[in-house]
Structures are given as C-alpha cells and as structure tokens.
Amino acid sequence: MVSLDVLERVEVFKGLGDDRLATIQGYVEEIEYQKGDKLFTEGDDAIHLWVVTEGEVSLRFELPGGRPAPKENTVASKKSRKTVAKVLGWSCLVSPYKMRLSAYCDSRCCKIIRLKKEDLTTICRNDSRLGYLVMRLMVEVVGYRFQQFQDVVAKTVGENLLSGW
C-alpha cells in the first residue's frame, strides 16, 4: 500500500490532510518500471492519472510506422524529488481523453502510482472540497507545463531563425 507520506508529496495532493489522503490511498496502485520500459503510448486511451514517485520518466512523441520513440524525441522529463512527486497523464481529465505523448522510464528504476480516472472523479464528486483543491492544483500544473512548452518552442524558433541567416 502506498504510504500517506508518498501521497502528500504528489503535486496535486499537497495540503489535503491525512483524512483525504487516506481516501485516495485506497484507490492508488504502485507499479515499478525498469530503464527503457514504456509506461504508456501516444494515442492510448487516457484512463489513469500517473505520478512519478521515484526515478525519471521522459515524455516523447512517436515516429510514424510504429517505431519506438528515440530519446531525441523527448519533449519533457519528469523526475521525482524528495519533496515533490510529478503528475503525468492529466489528459485523463480533458477531452478527447487520449495520451498526447509516450512515457518511458529513463532511470534505472521508476516507481509510479496510478489512479483510475473514474476513481478520481468519484472521490472528487463525493468530497467537493477535495475536488476543488485537486483541480486547482491540477490547473497550476497544466499551466506551468504549458509555459515550459512555450519556452521550448520559442527557443527552437529562435535557434532556427539564427541558423537560417
């Protein structure tokens, strides 16, 4: 069973308190992956919220023809820290409910916890204050990730403009 200490490190569960974390605890599962393992594939149905509790996971876009996504196709890396466990798969909360990138374990070992979308929505429906807090933090995470993406795009466009001179 995933400990409350681990759950309180999850960036979208911060500040929930032990009672609410204990509710979530009953629904999460922990999975371990090895270096190079694929957690999920771009285009899969987004049915879980994923959390990196130990190790590093890279998010990559796939190549046509079903070939594995090389490390060069990494869009972002999510690395767990002692104080923060990073969330992946927020697409499970946004239509069309499909994974936008593939995820790979990039460290020797990754520990991941998953929470089914249906369970998360049920928990939030049953405790509207918990739902509000989780969704408020989720919006912060998504906003920060969008800002990171904008920075990467701006850097790439700038490099392309400079190299085109």
Domain ranges of the chain: 4-163
Contacts of 150 (CB under 8 A, 6+ apart): none
> What is the mean pLDDT of the segment spanning 17-36?
97
The pTM for the full model equals 0.84
Pick the CATH number of 4-163 from 3.30.565.10, 2.60.120.10, 1.10.460.10, 3.40.109.10: 2.60.120.10
> What is the mean pLDDT of the segment spanning 127-138?
94
Percent of the chain's residues with pLDDT above 90 = 65
CA 119 – CA 154 distance, rounded (Å) = 38
Tell me the per-residue pLDDT of 66-84, one tens digit each, with 9 for 90 and over. 666 767 667 777 777 777 8
> What is the mean pLDDT of the segment spanning 124-148?
89
Encoding tokens for residue 133?
Answer: 């807090």
Widest distance between CA atoms in the chain: 60
CB distance 50 to 114 below 8 Å = yes
Mean pLDDT for the chain? 88
